[in-house]
Chains A and B, each alone.
Chain A
Amino acid sequence: MNFKLKDIGPQLMTVIAVVLVFGFFTYNAQVNMENRGIDFGYGFLSQESSFDVQFSLIEYDGSHSYFRAYLVGLLNTILVSVIGIFLATILGVLVGIARLSPNYLINKFAAFYVEFFRNIPLLLQIFFWYFAALRALPLPQDAEAMFGISFLTIKGLFVPAFIWENFNIFFYSIVAAIVAIIVIRYRAKKLQETIGKQTPVLLISIGLLFILPLLSFLIGGVRLSFEIPVLKQLATTSFIYEGGVSLPPELIALALSLSLYTATFIAECVRAGIQGVGKGQKEAAASIGLTQNQVLKLVVMPQALRIIIPPTTNQYLNLTKNSSLAAAIAYPDLVLVFAGTALMQTGKAIEIVSITMFTYLSLSISISLFMNWYNNKIAITEK
């Protein structure tokens, strides 16, 4: 134990400062809550919530507990984030590549899209897609059928519901196809490394993904039928579709605005990544006889991804956190259901806000851990 004060002094001061600040706030909150007769505790989570939620992925109504309401909100947040991340990634990659296109029109159009959407505050865009687009949509009774079976109306998108028979067999056939694809890819790589033989992996993969599920229909006894939404009259001028699946317009508007906004940033990450790969790399690859596609797939992308992934992770985190703007347009996410209605009904501000903050923290850390894992996986492995 031969510490020098000079070494540990600053650290110690910092620790004391942090403890004091936290201690002060906790103590202060305790005293104030006691003075105002507010109890602290998480017991309310098991109480009956007695409010309904518009849209839920799990079975829920007001007779369930506040904890269940929390889960409903959390799942809705995850749902819109996953949809948003998925769409934003696809759109972002496309636009990022388009920005490097030698075609003047495509190039400028992509540049315009990026500059336009990333420079307008997200909340305004959400309001725009919700209120402007909402007003433009037809009432249920005026809606034109899309492909004869789906209806996009002011009350939401109504699509047919899938009714499966022997769904588990269909599910296993897809799992089997995926396992087979992994094995084939592995074998193909081995073959190429040992005897240099090329296998059309992509074609085989797509084939497998089609043929196995198809077989499950033909010989596995899987049946699929559709429940098509039907117009129902509620009152003289008030209609709704019954049956099928309905996606609320709030979800559509939110997912759309989140992905359109975030895609602009991802596009810039992608452009930076591709431009970050040295020109010499491409020329060298071409000079040893690789085709254009091979250059992109084997030389440019593996190097570009390393530049693209870390800032894109940031965008995924942003999108997830921005999804809390849902409260503005009545999409029942975690903030609206739990930090909104539940907070109001129980008055447990500190408890509910702490749970909500912890939840967003966990979500963000999970995304970032996954992306770090992926980043490490594609990092240069020194031989």
Chain B
Amino acid sequence: MFKYLKQLTSLVAMVAVLFTFTTESMAAKKSKTLKNTQKKGFVRCGVSQGLPGFSNADAAGNWTGVDVDVCRAVAAAVLGDANKVKFTPLSAKERFTALTSGEIDILSRNTTWTLSRDADIGLTFVGVNFYDGQGFMVRKSSGITSTSQFKNGISACTNIGTTTELNMRDFFNSRGISYEPVAFEKADEVVAAYDAGRCDTYTTDKSGLAAQRTKMKNPDEHIVLPETISKEPLGPVVRQGDAVWEDIVRWSLNTMIEAEEYGITSANADSMKTSENPQIKRLVGAEGEMGAAFGLDNEWNLRIIKQVGNYGESYKRNIADTGILPDRGPNQLWTKGGILYVPPSR
């Protein structure tokens, strides 16, 4: 009896191997993710559980933010409609598993690009949509104005599963300060605990501090200290192994940034088609075959600019006008003193 069992299992295994190989080789020709997305009719996008300015849902369930706009741009390019996005709110802990397991196709959730994340866990970072750094928030009444005033025994609230935990250790260790890390799974609980007085300081990316400050009982009672203790380039992430999809997401983001560079906005995009500048014409689909390599039509980038806007519009709408970080700092174009610099679309 067991003799047959063995043969049966090997037969099943062989069939499974053959089946996998045939589907894999077909997928290699065209992007599997792109095909699935077009079939489903929406882009599956992983976002945060609520970070104003980056990805935040209003009472009606409409998502806004610069991270959200990356997914909307991809939807506009691939499906022709920036609203065809299904957002999945994820905790810091869940985000990578959701992406590698195929539950979402883009992770656009203020995620720091690091070597180990890029190399180890089956992910690929496609670019940077926000240059950030970790900072500390304290109560104004504490009289602390610089991290040099931190003393032994300070308690610091933060999120688990982020680079923050590691930076925090490096920071306190290198200064020889003993500290109590209080790490929560969700950002809302971190804010609540810090606000209640559980911790002396709250540490995360500075953009996050600025955004979460708006959620506190009395935002004016808290200040963000000037020191930045780490580099946090935040950007969208895709699964490894689908080069076409990776390129689509990368160039959707690049298009938004380059559009700002050339002064193309959602309002004037159509009129730019008749521009004299060939670079502008390429960005609005009036010259060259810029979509063919992705398996898209020629106006994919025009749709992004028309429906979502350029990077500057997105920043203004989500981060500056909401009072989170009115000053663009490093997130300004390279031509205007910032470090936003993307390869040319040509």
Shortest Cβ distance from residue A199 to the other chain B in the assembled complex, whole angstroms: 52
A134 to B24, CA, bound (A): 54
Interface assignment of B13: CB less than 8 Å from any CB of chain A: yes
Residues of A within 8 A of B61 (CB): none
Residues of A within 8 A of B20 (CB): 31
Interface assignment of B323: CB less than 8 Å from any CB of chain A: no
Cβ–Cβ contact A237 & B139, under 8 A: yes
Contact with B166, one of A31, A135, A345, A346 (Cβ below 8 angstroms)? A345
Within 8 A of A (CB), among B172-197: 173, 179-186, 189, 192-193, 196-197
**Taking CB as reference atom, which chain B residue is nearest A15?**
B5
Contact with A329, one of B173, B184, B200 (Cβ below 8 angstroms)? B184
Instruction: State whether A236 and B141 are in contact (beta carbons under 8 Å apart), knowing that A62-B169, A134-B198, A155-B198 are contacts in the complex.
Output: yes
Residues of B within 8 A of A336 (CB): 160, 183, 185
Residues of B within 8 A of A237 (CB): 139, 141-143
A155 to B121, CA, bound (A): 37
A155 to B97, CA, bound (A): 34
0 or 1 for each of B3-41: is its CB under 8 Å from A? (1 = yes): 001001100110010001000100000000000000000
From A49-57, A93-101, A103-111, A203-211, give the one contacting chain B: A49-57
Instruction: State whether A236 and B160 are in contact (beta carbons under 8 Å apart), knowing that A36-B122, A131-B196 are contacts in the complex.
Output: no
Instruction: State whether A51 and B166 are in contact (beta carbons under 8 Å apart), knowing that A27-B16, A235-B142, A343-B161 are contacts in the complex.
Output: yes
Interface assignment of B93: CB less than 8 Å from any CB of chain A: yes
Residues of B within 8 A of A242 (CB): 153
Within 8 A of A (CB), among B118-177: 120-122, 138-139, 141-144, 149-151, 153-155, 157, 160-162, 165-166, 168-169, 173
Interface assignment of A332: CB less than 8 Å from any CB of chain B: yes
Interface assignment of A238: CB less than 8 Å from any CB of chain B: yes
Interface assignment of A219: CB less than 8 Å from any CB of chain B: no
Interface assignment of A222: CB less than 8 Å from any CB of chain B: no
Q: Among the interface residues A12, A38, A237, which one has the most CB atoms of the partner chain B within 10 A?
A: A237
Cβ–Cβ contact A53 & B200, under 8 A: no
Number of interface residues of B (CB under 8 A): 58
Instruction: State whether A134 and B196 are in contact (beta carbons under 8 Å apart), knowing that A235-B149, A340-B160 are contacts in the complex.
Output: yes
**Taking CB as reference atom, which chain B residue is nearest A140?**
B197
A36 to B101, CA, bound (A): 10
Shortest Cβ distance from residue A345 to the other chain B in the assembled complex, whole angstroms: 7
**Taking CB as reference atom, which chain A residue is nearest B151?**
A234
**Taking CB as reference atom, which chain A residue is nearest B201?**
A238
Residues of A within 8 A of B161 (CB): 340-341, 343-345
Interface assignment of A296: CB less than 8 Å from any CB of chain B: no
0 or 1 for each of B91-112: is its CB under 8 Å from A? (1 = yes): 0110011001000000000000
Shortest Cβ distance from residue A257 to the other chain B in the assembled complex, whole angstroms: 15
Instruction: State whether A20 and B12 are in contact (beta carbons under 8 Å apart), knowing that A52-B181, A131-B192, A235-B149 are contacts in the complex.
Output: yes
Shortest Cβ distance from residue A148 to the other chain B in the assembled complex, whole angstroms: 22
Shortest Cβ distance from residue B164 to the other chain A in the assembled complex, whole angstroms: 10
Residues of A within 8 A of B169 (CB): 50-52, 62
Shortest Cβ distance from residue A352 to the other chain B in the assembled complex, whole angstroms: 11
Cβ–Cβ contact B120 & A347, under 8 A: yes
Instruction: State whether A235 and B196 are in contact (beta carbons under 8 Å apart), knowing that A31-B20, A340-B161, A347-B121 are contacts in the complex.
Output: no
Cβ–Cβ contact B153 & A236, under 8 A: no
Contact with A35, one of B142, B162, B168, B241 (Cβ below 8 angstroms)? B241
Shortest Cβ distance from residue A243 to the other chain B in the assembled complex, whole angstroms: 11
Interface assignment of A24: CB less than 8 Å from any CB of chain B: yes
Interface assignment of A19: CB less than 8 Å from any CB of chain B: yes
Interface assignment of B239: CB less than 8 Å from any CB of chain A: yes
**Taking CB as reference atom, which chain B residue is nearest A53?**
B181
Contact with A135, one of B173, B186, B196 (Cβ below 8 angstroms)? B196
A31 to B102, CA, bound (A): 14
**Taking CB as reference atom, which chain B residue is nearest A131?**
B192
Contact with B197, one of A139, A232, A236 (Cβ below 8 angstroms)? A139
Interface assignment of B117: CB less than 8 Å from any CB of chain A: yes
A74 to B287, CA, bound (A): 62
Shortest Cβ distance from residue A64 to the other chain B in the assembled complex, whole angstroms: 12
Within 8 A of B (CB), among A218-243: 232, 234-238, 240, 242
Shortest Cβ distance from residue A333 to the other chain B in the assembled complex, whole angstroms: 11
**Taking CB as reference atom, which chain B residue is nearest A23?**
B9
Within 8 A of B (CB), among A327-358: 327-330, 332, 336, 340-341, 343-347, 349
Cβ–Cβ contact A327 & B185, under 8 A: yes
Interface assignment of A367: CB less than 8 Å from any CB of chain B: no
Cβ–Cβ contact B96 & A234, under 8 A: no
A3 to B1, CA, bound (A): 10
28 contacts between A and B (CB under 8 A): A3-B1, A24-B16, A36-B100, A36-B239, A36-B240, A38-B121, A51-B165, A52-B165, A54-B182, A234-B142, A234-B154, A235-B144, A235-B149, A236-B141, A237-B143, A238-B154, A240-B153, A248-B182, A249-B198, A327-B185, A330-B184, A330-B189, A332-B183, A341-B161, A344-B96, A345-B161, A345-B166, A347-B122
Known contacts A20-B9, A131-B193; 6 further A-B pairs (Cβ under 8 A): A23-B13, A131-B192, A328-B184, A330-B189, A344-B93, A345-B116
User: Which 6 A/B pairs are nearest by Cβ-Cβ distance?
Assistant: A347-B121, A344-B161, A36-B122, A236-B143, A235-B142, A240-B153
